[in-house]
Structure 1
Amino acid sequence: MDLRTMPKRLKKGDTVGIISPSSPPNLENLQKALPFIEGLGLKVKMGKSVEAKHGHLAGSDDERLADLHAMFEDPEIAGIICAGGGYGAARYTEKIDFQMIKENPKVFWGYSDITFLHTAIGQYADLVTFHGPMLASDVGKDTFHERSARMFGQLFAPFELFYSEEISPLTALTSGVAEGELVGGNLSLIRSAIGTKFDLDTAGKILLIEDIDEEPYQVDEMLNHLRMARKFDGVAGVVIGDFKNAEPKKPERSLTLDQVLEDYFKEMKVPVVKGFKIGHCEPHFSVPLGVKARLDADEKTLTILPGVE
C-alpha cells in the first residue's frame, strides 16, 4: 500500500497551535490543560477563534477554517492540538486547502467530531494524523489518566504501540490475524460522511469505531447504515473502541450493546476485537491513523507502527 506522509516528530521547545474546529470548548478546562502541554516542553499559540462562540459553533465556519489553515501554514507551528470536539468540523471540510496541508505536514491531534477531519486530511492530503485526547474535553479534567498523558510521548519519538489485555479486558468476536492501514474513529462521523466525497475508504483497512451517548438502537442503526453502504465489504479487520454511556433508557425494550455488536460482527470472516480503551474514556489509548497496524484476534493484541518520523 502507498504509505501516507508521517509528520516530523515534536521536540522540546517547539510551538503547537491550539484550535477549536467544532464547538466552543470549556475555557476553564482549557486553561487547566495548558500546564500539561508546557510540561511536555512545548510552547502554545492559540487560534483566533478558540474562544469564539457562534451558537453551537466556536465561531463562524470561515473563522474556524482560517484557524486550521493558519496553523498548517505557519512555519513556527510544529503541531496542532484540538481544544475539543462537539459538532461542526464537517461544515467547512470541502473548503480545506488539502494541497497546502500536503506541502506542510505536521502533527494533527484530536478525536470525536475531529474524525471528519482525520478522514479528509488522510484521504486528500495523505497525512498520518492522531486520534487522541483533547485539551478542554480531556486533559484539563481531574479524571485525566496517567496512561492517557503518557500517550503523548509517541509524538516525540517513533515507537511501536502495543495493546494487550494488560491494558483492558478484550473480547474477540471472530478469530484470525489482519494487517492493514488503521482508519476510522467516531462511528457517528464515519456514518455522516457516507455518500460524500469524504466517505471513508475501508477496503483492505483495519477499521476503528468508537462513540459516546448512543443507545444500542442508535448504534444498531449506524452499523446497519455502514453495512448497507458496503463499508464492511473487504475490510481487513475491526477494532471496537469504547462506547461510553451506551445504556438503553428502556432496558426492557432494548438489545444490549453487546448483542448489537454480535449481530453485525460475529459472522464476519475477518478478525474483530472489542474492549479497546480508545475513545471517550479514561485511560484513552491514542493511536496514529493512516499507519500500518496488525490485529491478532487469537492473541487479542493490536500492534501499530509509529506515526512520526
Structure 2
Amino acid sequence: MLCPNRLHKGDTIGVIAPSGPPDLDKLKQAIPFLKKMGLHVKLGKHIDKVHGYLAGTDEERLEDLHEMIANPEIKAIIFARGGYGMGRIVPDIDFNLIKRNPKIIWGYSDITYLHTAIRKKVGLVTFHGPMLASDIAEEGFDELSASMFEQLFEPKRYGYTEKISALHEIVSGESEGQLVGGNLSLLVSTLGSSYEIDTKGKLLLLEDIGEEPYKIDGMLNQLKFSGKLADAAGIVVGDFAKAEPKLDPSLTMEQVFYDYFNDLSCPVLAGFKIGHCFPHFSVPLGVQAKLSTKDKSLIIEPGVK
C-alpha cells in the first residue's frame, strides 16, 4: 500500500461534494475548523450545484474530483458530505491520475465506494473520517473527533481501547491485517463489480446508519454468501446509528450480529465509535492493524508518510 504525504501548515485542502449536495451554510461554518489547523481551503467549482439528490451532474462531480487530484497545490481532499452518488461516477474516474498524484483522501459513508475502488485500482491508503457539512458543522462534533485530524500531520500509530467506548466480544481471538471496509450498504453494493471489496486476510470494518435490523440481516447475508465474512481475518463492528426496528416483533441488532459472526473463526469485536456518531474515531484504510479481544483493542499503523 502507498501512503500519501503528510500535511504541513500552509497546505491547501480541496473540498468537493462527489455524492449528495451539502448544506452550504453548514459548509461555511465548518471551513474555519480547517483554517485553525493552519490550512488553506479551495472549494470545488461545482460545490454549490444541485441535481436532484446529487451535488451536480455526474460530469460536474467527476470534473471537480479530477481537478482536485490533478492540482499540485492541493495536498488533501476532504469531502463536504456523503449521501448518494459516488458509485455513479467511479467507473469514469481516472485511477492513473490518482496513481500519479497520490494525496490524502478523507471521508466516509457514501465515500466508502471510492475508498474501496481506490484501494483496489491504485493501492493508496485513504481515510475514513468525518466530513465538513455533515459532521464538523454539527453541535455534537467533539474534541476527540477533532483531534483525529492530527494523524494527517504526523505519522502516528493509534490505539482504540475501552477508554473511548465499551467494547463487546462476539468471537474471541487476536489477528492482524489490513484494515478495510466502511459503510455496510456501500460495501454490499460493490459485490459483483470490478470494485468488489476484498476481505481475504483483512480486518473488516462495518458501520451504517438508518438501517433496521432486518435490513442489516439481509446485507450481512450477502456478505456471508459471497464469502466475505469467512475470508476476513477479523471483524471490527463500528456504530450502527438510528437502527431502531419498526417491525414488531424484531430481532435486535445484537442478535443479528451474533447470528452472522458467532461461528466465524476470526476475532469479532463490537462497540467501536466509528461511523455516523460522536465521538467519531477516524481511521486510515489499507494500513496494517491488530485486533485483540483479550486486550479489547484495535491498534492501527500510520496512514501518512
> TM-score, with normalisation over the residues of structure 1?
0.98
Question: 1:42 aligned to 2:47?
Answer: no
Tell me by how many angstroms 1:143 deviates.
1.2
Query: Does the aligned pair in 1 maintain the 2:22–2:134 contact within 8 Å?
Result: yes
Partner-residue secondary structure (3-state), 1:262: helix
Tell me by how many angstroms 1:112 deviates.
0.1
Partner-residue secondary structure (3-state), 2:120: helix
| Pairing of 1:160-309 with structure 2 (within 5 A) | 160-250=157-247, 252-309=248-305
Partner-residue secondary structure (3-state), 2:10: coil
Aligned partner of 2:97 among 84, 97, 100: 100
Distance 2:110 2:215 in 1: 17
| Pairing of 1:37-186 with structure 2 (within 5 A) | 37-186=34-183
Tell me by how many angstroms 1:234 deviates.
2.1
Counterpart residue type for residue 256 of structure 2: V
Distance 1:198 1:297 in 2: 30
Partner-residue secondary structure (3-state), 2:13: strand
Partner-residue secondary structure (3-state), 2:228: coil
Distance 1:27 1:204 in 2: 41
Counterpart residue type for residue 89 of structure 1: M
Tell me by how many angstroms 1:233 deviates.
2.3
Counterpart residue type for residue 40 of structure 2: K
Tell me by how many angstroms 1:118 deviates.
0.3
Partner-residue secondary structure (3-state), 1:254: coil
Partner-residue secondary structure (3-state), 1:239: strand
Counterpart residue type for residue 294 of structure 2: D
Partner-residue secondary structure (3-state), 1:303: strand
**Paired-residue identity, %:** 56
Aligned partner of 1:11 among 8, 24, 45: 8
> TM-score, with normalisation over the residues of structure 2?
0.99
Query: Does the aligned pair in 1 maintain the 2:236–2:272 contact within 8 Å?
Result: yes
Tell me by how many angstroms 1:266 deviates.
1.1
Counterpart residue type for residue 205 of structure 2: L
Instruction: Give the unaligned 5+ runs of structure 2.
Output: none
Counterpart residue type for residue 177 of structure 2: G
Query: Does the aligned pair in 1 maintain the 2:171–2:269 contact within 8 Å?
Result: yes
Partner-residue secondary structure (3-state), 2:231: coil
Partner-residue secondary structure (3-state), 1:12: coil
Tell me by how many angstroms 1:299 deviates.
1.2
Partner-residue secondary structure (3-state), 1:180: strand
Counterpart residue type for residue 143 of structure 2: E
Counterpart residue type for residue 85 of structure 1: G
| Counterpart for residue 32 of structure 1 | 29
Structure 1: 4+ residue segments shifted above 3 A = none
Query: Does the aligned pair in 1 maintain the 2:98–2:122 contact within 8 Å?
Result: yes
Counterpart residue type for residue 272 of structure 2: F
Paired positions, count: 305
